Amino acid sequence: MKKILLIIIAAFIGTNAFCQIEKPVTWSFALKKEKNNEAVILLKASIKSSWHIYSLDQKEGGPVKTTITFLPAAGYTLIGRSSQPQPQTKFEKAFNMKVSYFENTVVFQQRIKLKPGKGTLHGKLEYMTCNNQKCLPPEDLDFTINL
């Protein structure tokens, strides 16, 4: 009976070791205050080696582009659109098109006008992570930044 129990436990542990969820991207968020009640929201993606995420301006028919959504709140107003550094571009056979992407790290930015008082900014990211062998399903990530 003990042998059967040990076999079951060993099989369970072995199965769990191979079923770990891959997380090749970690995010950090910051607020950089500037003059005239303006600030810049910084959304930094740290991407593991050999992986990449896609730009904000990805064409239709390809991978899921990175999308940043800021929920309306009384403490701020958006100034313009979110910005990004110049992405790398290459032809990807998997999508049969040129794609724009980032490796290692990327910082997306959004300028905002702060309103008097304290507040909280709530937002949501959607992004897709791929390497040369596979793509992971798109991820949604909620974030909060104190103003």
Mean pLDDT, to the nearest integer, of 116-125? 92
Number of CB atoms found within 10 A of residue 36's CB: 6
Which runs of E-coded beta strand occur in 5-128?
25-33, 38-47, 52-54, 67-70, 76-83, 88-92, 97-102, 105-114, 120-127
**Assigned domain for 89 exists:** yes
Confidence at residue 20, expressed as pLDDT on a 0 to 100 scale: 63
Beta bridge partners of 146: 120
Confidence at residue 120, expressed as pLDDT on a 0 to 100 scale: 93
**Assigned domain for 74 exists:** yes
**Assigned domain for 109 exists:** yes
Q: What is the pLDDT of residues 9-66, one digit of tens each?
A: 434 444 444 456 789 999 999 999 998 899 999 999 999 999 999 999 998 889 999 9
Confidence at residue 16, expressed as pLDDT on a 0 to 100 scale: 44
**Assigned domain for 52 exists:** yes
**Assigned domain for 13 exists:** no
Kind plus residue range of the DSSP H or E element containing 129: strand 129-130
**Assigned domain for 66 exists:** yes
Mean pLDDT, to the nearest integer, of 86-107? 95
| Of 46, 23, 53, residue with least CA distance to 131 | 53
**Assigned domain for 1 exists:** no
**Assigned domain for 35 exists:** yes
Please name the residues in contact with 24: beta carbons below 8 A apart, sequence gap of 6 or more: 47, 48, 51, 129, 131, 136
Per-residue pLDDT for 99 more than 90?
Answer: yes
CATH number for position 113: 2.60.40.1250
What domain range includes position 91?
Answer: 23-146
Given a contact cutoff of 8 angstroms between Cβ atoms, the answer to whether 55 and 87 are in contact is: yes
What is the tally of structural domains in the chain?
Answer: 1
